[in-house]
Amino acid sequence: MSDSKVVLQDSKSGQAHELPVHQGTYGAPVIDITSLNKQTGYFTYDPGFVSTASCKSDITYLDGNEGELMYRGYPIEQLAEKCNFLEVCYLLLHGELPNVGEKESFENSIVTHTLINESLLNFFKGFHYDAHPMAMMTGVVGSLSAFYHDSLDIQNPQHRMETAHRLIAKMPTIAAAAYKHRMGEPFMYPQNHLNYCGNFLHMMYARPVEEYEVDPMAEKALDILFILHADHEQNASTSTVRLAGSSDANPYAAIAAGIACLWGAAHGGANEAVLKMLDEIGDVKNIEKYLAKAKDKTDSFRLMGFGHRVYKNFDPRAKIIKTICHQVLEKYGDDPRMELAMRLEEIALKDEYFIERKLYPNVDFYSGIIYSALKFPVEMFTVMFAIARTAGWISHWIEMIADPSKKIGRPRQLYTGPASRNVPDISQRG
């Protein structure tokens, strides 16, 4: 990182404090405030980390103004076109795309971990049939820490990589088991002759009583969606995994924390919220009414699938997903919600409120329409996001744990509570 410096002039003390500035490969330079408190006695204040870099990372970069996204330097558009999801998992984990031999041994390792411990299947029986699958994912993935707690030395690089392979391999199996539990259908075991997405579709939709053939288009669409959702630098759920993992917690528990955070409607839960919003809007003639609600500060309604903390241009993933939407709907039959979504996008992007705030469709705006066409119930949409994002989460966890300068994450605060006071006797309390 090339360094320069800034000078902080303290008007109170009259003192000037020099702070180093680091410049990464791309992106805004950062003011290094690690010595700020020692030098000046000040903390910084940045709720939501709007202007704060929490770490340095080699994994993913996104340019919010240009609407560009790259994993380990490769543009997302090229990865979506030329790679499959497991190649991208390898890239995120190792920093380079696999060659033929590396790809084969990575795939072989993943398939050896697709089964889950038989006793884990009993966990699902503890949930009501209508439990939200993200609740089941959070609980069951967190419970994996009970199965591997003793065979896991997080300071051992081989143990870290084996954990990554286990999680990437088991997420589809656990997700499909959650779906089968909701459907009251028998759990389907992985078929390791199938590829990653085909195996997942088989576990989701096959039944013991009939043949099931994986649809190549569904498999390809899913593989691209998983690539697009695999990582996104320091988003809320990845930051959650880093913070939870910074205490040297079991990585399965840290990933479960990421799943819990992703579930929020402001984050990965938005894909489910978009479909529910489109169903609520119902017809093009209601768009203006709902845009008015979205702009009304007294109304909690927001245009789900729109806006982003970093992208102030089109989310490049949304552009690719929109194209896949048209291809998928051409094969599986139209969905009136696609027309509604496109009209909503068209009208919103001409509206001053959205233009002024640079609010564009994000990754969640169209993805649900594809998942619907592939017969996934709306409650499973965020689970799909979690399957894909596990690759990013565990790559960031490894990057953090392997960093010799790692410190436990422990933010400070601006205390605005009561000044010191004595405890009154209960008879004196008002």
Tell me if residue 159 is catalytic: no
Catalytic residue among 132, 202, 308, 396: 308
Q: How far apart are CA 133 and CA 112, in angstroms?
A: 25
Identify the CA nearest to 398 among candidates 150, 225, 231. Answer: 231
357 binds ligand SDX (CB under 6 A): yes
Strands 2-9 and 68-71: unpaired
Q: How far is the CB of 309 from ligand SDX (least distance, A)?
A: 4
Q: Residue 116 or 341: which CB sits closer to ligand SDX?
A: 341
Tell me which of 22, 94, 267, 351 is the catalytic residue.
267
Specify whether 326 is catalytic. no
Stretch in the footprint of ligand SDX (CB under 6 A) among 4-12, 53-61, 305-313, 417-425: 305-313
Q: Does residue 276 bind ligand SDX (CB under 6 A)?
A: no
Q: Which is nearer to ligand SDX, 84 or 235 (CB)?
A: 235
Beta bridge partners, 9, equal 16
Size of the site for ligand SDX (CB under 6 A): 21
Rounded Cα distance between 345 and 360, Å, is 8
302 lines the binding site for ligand SDX (CB under 6 A): yes
- Decide: is 364 part of the binding site for ligand SDX (CB under 6 A): yes
Shortest distance in whole angstroms from residue 70 CB to ligand SDX = 14
44 CB neighbour count, 10 Å cutoff: 12
309 forms part of the interface with ligand SDX (CB under 6 A): yes
Name which position in 168, 340, 363, 373 contacts ligand SDX (CB under 6 A).
363
Binder of ligand SDX out of 98, 139, 305, 316 (CB under 6 A): 305
Nearest residue to ligand SDX on Cβ basis: 307
Helix (H, G, I), strand (E, B) or coil at 375: coil
* Calpha distance 327→333 (Å, rounded): 10
Which residues fall within 8 angstroms of residue 165, CB to CB, at 6 or more apart? 106, 109, 110, 113
Would residue 364 show up in a list of annotated catalytic residues for this protein? yes
Q: Is 270 in the site for ligand SDX (CB under 6 A)?
A: yes
> Hey, what long-range contacts does 409-417 have (CB within 8 A, 24 or more apart)?
409/54, 409/242, 409/243, 409/246, 409/247, 412/43, 414/43, 414/45
Give CA separation, 67 vs 221, 230, 293, 310, 330, in Å: 22, 17, 27, 9, 27
Segment interacting with ligand SDX, rule: CB under 6 A, options 7-15, 96-104, 185-193, 262-270:
262-270
Q: Per-residue string for binding with ligand SDX, 214-253, x by CB under 6 A?
A: ------------------x--x------------------
Rg (CA), the chain: 24
Is 303 a residue that touches ligand SDX (CB under 6 A)?
yes
Given the structure tokens 């309604």, which residue do they identify?
301
- Asked if 293 is part of the footprint of ligand SDX (rule: CB under 6 A), the reply reads no
Q: Cβ 166 to ligand SDX, closest distance in Å?
A: 23
d(CA 210, CA 255): 35
- By the criterion CB under 6 A, which residues form the site for ligand SDX? 48, 232, 235, 266-268, 270, 294, 302-309, 357, 359, 362-364
Catalytic residues: 267, 308, 364
